[in-house]
Each structure stands twice: as structure tokens, then as C-alpha cells.
Amino acid sequence: MSQNRSTEDDVLSFDPSKNQQELLKAWHIFMESGIINNEIVPPHIAESWQRSKKYKVDPYDFSPDSYIESEKYKQRIEKSKGLIDLARPIMENVYKSLEQTKYLVVLYDSDGYHLLRIGQRADFERSSMFKIREGLCFDEKHVGTSGFSLVKRLLKPVQITGCEHYSKLLHYVTGAYAPIFEPKTKSFIGVTGVTGSRTIPNPHTLAIVIAVETAIENLLELNQSKEELFVFATSLQIAIQSFEDGVIILDNDMRICEMNPVAKRILGAERKDIYGKYTSDLKHLSWLEKTLKGLFQFQDHEIEEIDCQINNKRYLATIKSLRKNQQDIKGVLVQLKDVRRLTRMLQNIVGDRPRYTIESMAGSSRAMIEIKNIATVTAKSDACVIIEGESGTGKDVIAQAIHNASSRAKNPFVVINCAAIPHELLESTLFGHEKGAFTGASSTHIGKFELADRGTVFLDEIGEMSPAMQAKMLRAIEERKIERVGGGKPLPVDVRVLAATNRDLYHLVSTNQFRADLFYRLNIFRIILPPLRERKEDIFELVQTFLVEFASFYEKPAPRVSEAYLELLLNYDWPGNVRELKNAVQYSIARINDEDELLPSHLTGFFPSRRYPISVTGLDQGRGKLPDIEMKVILKTLESYQGNKTQTARALGISRATVYRKLKTLPLDNR
Ligand SMILES: Nc1ncnc2c1ncn2[C@@H]1O[C@H](COP(=O)(O)OP(=O)(O)OP(=O)(O)O)[C@@H](O)[C@H]1O
Ligand SMILES: [Mg+2]
């Protein structure tokens, strides 16, 4: 038997020489006794018969539950409408090419219900005589062995003839069937078949069915790609529309075919003025011409970045070719990035965050009050400021406070430490460089001045700047323009310059170490921060500020400040100024355990032993016993609070009574 069957393994084909009489006899024997004649019945049919019997399928009739109600059937049809619409023309074409009176072309859904039957009326009438009508389910559990059930089981094309069917009602049918798979997921979605009377088997029907199935699958795939393309194109369009950069798309003819609203705004033009135009026709885009020619003529692969100006605003244009097969350019995408927005964004990511304000600066000594007043005045102007002071006196702090009080507060605050950057790199750090400006300049670099556009540049340790750089700096400040290293044209920048030094800049000028013209350019305002030892009245307030900060950092309750602790701080000369004081407070808070008060013991080990105990040079250079020093501190504080004893007491962290008590010890005319 098996040698008569097709040699093609996955196609169970029809054998026209098969004797239907013998098959019918084998069928009867099986139905009565369950015995299979393996000589006659092919194995896949035998297995299916056995399963059908196990399912108790009636071989002489279809049970009523083999049909679904017409409403449910309609719903099924509706659900598979896509597949039906797609398969119908293919099936109709195939039907036309067949001997029409003898065949039906059918389509089943994945559960075995007819979705489509194409044929002649007589064929339908005949099949309905055999109870084959809409709503009949062709799976194995309902009708037993059938073309559909075999295909669903074996998931490959199948031919079945007459008495191979389990149900007697199907014995007149011969057919070829093939599975339809969803192209992407490869899941089984239905079966297509060509059926006819068992008296007219045709060995070609299987090939025809396979062709139908392939055509349906191809069409499904095409439709799917079309849909995917639609989804992709639409989402791309939405994405481009919502871009914050301008996007212009050119076709392979270098005409504009698409652009987003931002691009329209940048160009200040309407759709009708732009679409279909060549870039050379548009004055704002004429600079693109050279690059585009390079791309199209020389198949340039590089992504170009061009610094351009449109309507007096600066943009960075990125130009990318849209290629097919790495070769043919099908179009070009131009992205216009607003340099100001870009720098602001960069600044947010890498920039320094100035946190101090004039109000948040601790210190109410007369010197500090004066400094805060000057800071408030300078903040209102846009002029340069020189901030001088020993290390740790708060030069950074005051620079931040000025920036934050100025109209530039929302814009970048960029710090450049002139001493920390090697001389040869300072210029490119400050002003940027063009690609290829020097060895290692592999890409364009935006300098700190550009990053700080509309904000403040804080040049720390300006005294360390080389004379050559001083000259360039003077030009940048005077002309409000910078030149990138290796880039010809000057770029306008809007920055305010604050400079700081812990050296005596005036002395540097007089000894020719600092350019006098730059000094005078910077020295519009000059703020000199006195060392802490000269304003010890600020110590208590500073301690209070740091104490809160570090208590929260160490997650401890903020302690009080004991008199003895404060006294210790007041008796030190603070060579490291406020920074050192801050460190002292941090040191103490870290050491505090359950105590609710800062005590001298919390400072044990903090001061370098050489320096402590110290002289109180800041207090009129006076040396003396502790009570004298203490008195001087009280008097100085009192002076800075215009004699207000409550404020003095609060500032020193002692009670009002103590202030009075101490003052009482003075001769009357000194109180
Ligand atoms: N008035 C102030 N209020 C609060 N904190 C201050 C004050 N002054 C200085 N500080 C703190 O002291 C430390 C040193 O201040 P800053 O960095 O501004 O000093 P600097 O003068 O710039 O020092 P350097 O010359 O070393 O750069 C910082 O941690 C700062 O927070
Ligand atoms: Mg500093």
C-alpha cells in the first residue's frame, strides 16, 4: 500500500488506483468490530478512525451538537472577515480554472467551520442532502475523520477520498486540503480545500490547493506589512511632529517633502511656500546645498554637523542620508537643533548648581552686612565683579549669591577654575574648538562661554591665567564675542563675568603679572571677603547654619552650642576660614553621641596641635587672657548689632543675662 502513496513525505496524496469497494469493506469491519485492515487503510486514516470512535462520533449521522446556531455562525464569519475578503478573489480565480460542475472551493476557520464555499448551486444542494450545511463543525470530535480534521492534526496538505472519511455522510466526497498559517506567528488559522464527488478524483487538486494556500498566505503577509508600514509611518510622523528640534525631510530629488511644525517656525514659512521646493530656492536653506551635493554626488557617508544661522538664531544642523542598501540615497533628513536650547539642556546636565542666595549666606558682622549690600547692588547690574579673599572665605558662595539675585538666575552658572586647567587647554575649554582645530580635536566642542550663554561665568583663581589668555579674555568681555579655537567667525555670547582670586590682584598688576586693562575691565565692582579671624562675630551664626546642615546629614537631632564650645571656636584664628569652621562643625557632629549639646570634647583632635591655643589676631591684634578676649568678642558683636543686646546674645549663643552680666564688669563709660 505505502509504495503507491506519494514519495513526497509531507504530502499525503491521493491514489486513484485505490479500490473504494475494498475501503468501504474495511470501513464496515472497523465500525462493527474495531479491527483495521492495515493493507487497505493508510495509517493516518486508521489513527483518525480510532480517535473518532473514542470520541463516540456517530458514523451514520451528524449529531445535533455538530452544528452551531446561525447567530453564532454569523459572528464567526464576522470575526474572520479579513481572511474571507482576502481569500475570496484567489478562491474565485481557482474555481474558474476548474471543471466547475465538479468541484467546490472551500475555506474553513481554525475550528473547522466553513467560512467560504465557492461552487455551483447543484453542488450545494447535493451537499446539503448529506447534511453538510453552514454551521457544521468539521473537526474530529464532531464528524470524525475529514479533510479538515486531518489537516488540523497533521498541519500539512492532505488528500482524502470517499470511504476514508469516518462519517458515511462524507463518503461521496473526495478532496485536497492545505493548512493556512499566519505569516508572522506561524500559527494555524484555517484550511483551504478543493472538494468534489469521490467518483472524480483528480491528482492535481492537491497542487492547486497548495497554490491557493500559498497565495492566501502571501497576501496575508503583504497586508500585514502594509499595515505595519502604515503604523510605522504614522507613528514616525507623530514622533517627528512632536520633536522639539526642527525636522526637514528631502526626497531623492533634493526637494522638501516633509517638515515638522518646529521647522516651519524656524523657517518662518507656510507649507505651501516650502513643500516641493529645492533647498536652493529657499534663502534660509541655501547653505545646505553644498552638503547635499556632497551626499548625492559623492555618496558621502558622513553625518554632517553644520553651525548655521537662520533668522539671526543659531542652529546646529545634523544631516543624515536615508539610504537603501547602504548605497542609494532615497532622501535626506535635516535636524535643526536650537543651540540655546541645547546649551541650556547641557547645562542642566553638567552645569554647576548655584545654591547660595544673599539671604542664605550666614554672617551678620558689619563686614558681612556690607558685603551683602554690595552683592545686592552688583546683582542688579550686569557688570564684572572681582571677588577677593583668602581661601575658604566664601568667594564661591558670594558668586553664587550674586548670580541667583541677578536677572540671569534662571540661566546657567558656569564655573571655570583657571588654576585647575592646563594653560594650553584653557582657551578651548573656555571658547570651544572646531573639529580638527588641533591634534585630538576629533569633534566640535562647545566651550564654557557658549554653555553659559545668557548666564554667568565664574572665573575662579583668575590670578593664575596666562598673559596670552588674559588678552583673549579681555577681547571676549569687551566685544561680547568669542572665537572657537580653529574656527574663523566670532560667535556672539551673552555672559556676565564674575572673577575670584585669593591673591592680591592689584599687587599682581603693579608687578606686571596681571594685565592692567583686564584688571580694570573686571574691577567694576570689587568685593573683598575678610578672613574669618577678622569677623569672629559671624562664627556663631555660621556654626548654627552648619550644625543644622550636618545634623540632618548624619540624621541626628541638632544639638545646642555650649558656651565652652563656642569659646573654643572664638579663640582660634581659623587659617582655613569658613571652610575650616565648617569642617570643625562637621567633625563635632560626627562625634556627638547622645549629648544634646556641642562640647569642647567634640573638637578634641580637630585642631592641629601647633596652632592651638591661638592668638586672637582679629580682635584688634590684642593678646590677652580669656575673659578679655571674650569681652572683645561681645563688644564687637554688640557693635555689629548696633548695641542690640538680644541680637548679640542670640548671635553668640549665650543668654541675654550673660551679656548684661559680662558688660557689667566693664567700666561704666565702656558699656
Ligand atoms: N557666608 C557663608 N554662609 C554659609 N556657608 C559659607 C559662607 N561662607 C563660606 N561658606 C562655606 O564655606 C566653604 C568655603 O566657601 P567657598 O568655597 O565659597 O570659599 P572660597 O573663598 O571660594 O575658597 P577657595 O579660595 O578655596 O576657593 C563652603 O563650604 C561654603 O559653603
Ligand atoms: Mg572658591
Please give the distance, rounded to the nearest whole angstrom, from the Cα atom of residue 484 to the centre of ligand 2: 27
- Of the candidates 176, 185, 137, the one whose C-alpha atom is nearest the C-alpha of residue 157 is 176
Question: Residues with Cβ < 8 Å from 640, sequence gap 6 or more?
Answer: 364, 365, 366, 369, 537
State which fold the 351-530 domain adopts: Rossmann fold (3.40.50)
Same fold, 2-223 and 243-345: yes
pLDDT above 90 as % of the chain: 48
Residue 200, φ and ψ in degrees, nearest 5: -125, 60
Question: 179 CB less than 6 Å from ligand 1?
Answer: no
Please give the distance, rounded to the nearest whole angstrom, from the Cα atom of residue 396 to the centre of ligand 2: 5
Question: 167 CB less than 6 Å from ligand 1?
Answer: no
**Helix or strand or coil: residue 22?**
helix
Q: What is the mean pLDDT of the chain?
A: 85
Please give the distance, rounded to the nearest whole angstrom, from the Cα atom of residue 556 to the centre of ligand 2: 29
Q: Judging by beta carbons within 10 Å of its beta carbon (0-12, 13-18, 19+), is residue 166 exposed, middle or buried? A: buried
Nearest-ligand number for the alpha carbon of 542: 1
Whether the predicted pLDDT of 91 surpasses 50: yes
Whether the predicted pLDDT of 289 surpasses 90: no
Sign of CA dihedral 143, 145, 151, 155: positive
Lowest mean pLDDT among 183-187, 354-358, 389-393, 455-459: 183-187
Question: 463 CB less than 6 Å from ligand 1?
Answer: no
pLDDT at 15: 40
C-alpha cell of 453?
550663554
658-671 mean pLDDT:
68
380 or 22, greater pLDDT: 380
Please give the distance, rounded to the nearest whole angstrom, from the Cα atom of residue 398 to the centre of ligand 1: 8
pLDDT tens, position by position, 200-223: 556 678 888 898 999 999 999 998
Cα separation, 522 vs 477, in Å, equals 9
Lowest mean pLDDT among 2-6, 585-589, 655-659: 2-6
Cα separation, 28 vs 423, in Å, equals 104
Whether the predicted pLDDT of 634 surpasses 90: no
pLDDT tens, position by position, 318-360: 888 887 776 677 888 899 998 877 776 766 666 667 899 999 9
State which fold the 533-670 domain adopts: Helicase, Ruva Protein; domain 3 (1.10.8)
- CA angle, 542 as apex, 537 and 546 as ends, to 5°? 160
- Per CATH, the homologous superfamily of domain 2-223 is GAF domain (3.30.450.40)
State which fold the 243-345 domain adopts: Beta-Lactamase (3.30.450)
Question: Residues with Cβ < 8 Å from 650, sequence gap 6 or more?
Answer: none
Please give the distance, rounded to the nearest whole angstrom, from the Cα atom of residue 306 to the centre of ligand 2: 37
Q: Which of 352, 368, 461, 582 has the most ligand 1 atoms within 8 A of CB, as the residue to mutate?
A: 582
Question: 545 CB less than 6 Å from ligand 1?
Answer: yes
Nearest-ligand number for the alpha carbon of 459: 2
pLDDT tens, position by position, 147-169: 999 999 999 999 998 889 999 88
Confidence tier at 368 by pLDDT (50, 70, 90) = very high
524-552 mean pLDDT:
95
pLDDT at 328: 77
514-525 mean pLDDT:
94
Confidence tier at 231 by pLDDT (50, 70, 90) = confident
Atom of ligand 1 lying closest to residue 391 CA: 25
pLDDT tens, position by position, 120-152: 877 777 777 778 888 999 999 999 999 999 999
Please give the distance, rounded to the nearest whole angstrom, from the Cα atom of residue 512 to the centre of ligand 2: 24
Cα separation, 562 vs 568, in Å, equals 10
C-alpha cell of 475?
577681547
Cβ count near 155 (within 10 Å): 13
310 or 610, greater pLDDT: 310
Atom of ligand 1 lying closest to residue 360 CA: 3
Whether the predicted pLDDT of 13 surpasses 70: no
In the chain, what are the domain boundaries?
2-223, 243-345, 351-530, 533-670
Question: 582 CB less than 6 Å from ligand 1?
Answer: yes
Which residue shows C-alpha cell 466553513? 114
Q: What's the pTM value of the predicted model, to 2 decimals?
A: 0.54
188-211 mean pLDDT:
80
Q: How would DSSP label each residue in 163-202?
A: GGSSSGGGTTEEEEEEEEE-TTT--EEEEEEEEEETTS--
Question: Residues with Cβ < 8 Å from 291, sequence gap 6 or more?
Answer: 304, 306, 319
205 or 651, greater pLDDT: 205
Question: 363 CB less than 6 Å from ligand 1?
Answer: yes
The answer to whether residues 537 and 365 touch, using CB atoms and an 8 Å cutoff, is yes
Question: 354 CB less than 6 Å from ligand 1?
Answer: no
Question: 395 CB less than 6 Å from ligand 1?
Answer: yes
End-to-end CA distance of the chain: 130
pLDDT tens, position by position, 293-302: 777 776 665 5
Cα separation, 37 vs 18, in Å, equals 14
Q: Which of 374, 385, 396 has the most ligand 1 atoms within 8 A of CB, as the residue to mutate?
A: 396
Cβ count near 450 (within 10 Å): 23
pLDDT tens, position by position, 452-511: 888 999 999 999 999 999 999 999 999 999 988 887 688 888 999 999 999 889 899 999
The answer to whether residues 437 and 428 touch, using CB atoms and an 8 Å cutoff, is yes
The answer to whether residues 213 and 182 touch, using CB atoms and an 8 Å cutoff, is no
The answer to whether residues 388 and 526 touch, using CB atoms and an 8 Å cutoff, is yes
Q: Whose CA is nearest to atom 15 of ligand 1?
A: 394
Confidence tier at 98 by pLDDT (50, 70, 90) = confident
pLDDT at 11: 41
pLDDT tens, position by position, 411-461: 889 999 998 888 888 999 999 888 776 766 666 778 889 888 889 999 999
β 385-389/491-492 pair status = unpaired
C-alpha cell of 267?
523657517
pLDDT at 202: 65
Cα separation, 188 vs 335, in Å, equals 45
Q: Which of 578, 580, 587 has the most ligand 1 atoms within 8 A of CB, as the residue to mutate?
A: 578
Atom of ligand 1 lying closest to residue 393 CA: 21
Atom of ligand 1 lying closest to residue 389 CA: 21
pLDDT tens, position by position, 611-627: 443 334 444 444 456 66
Q: Which helix (H) or strand (E) holds 43?
A: helix 43-54
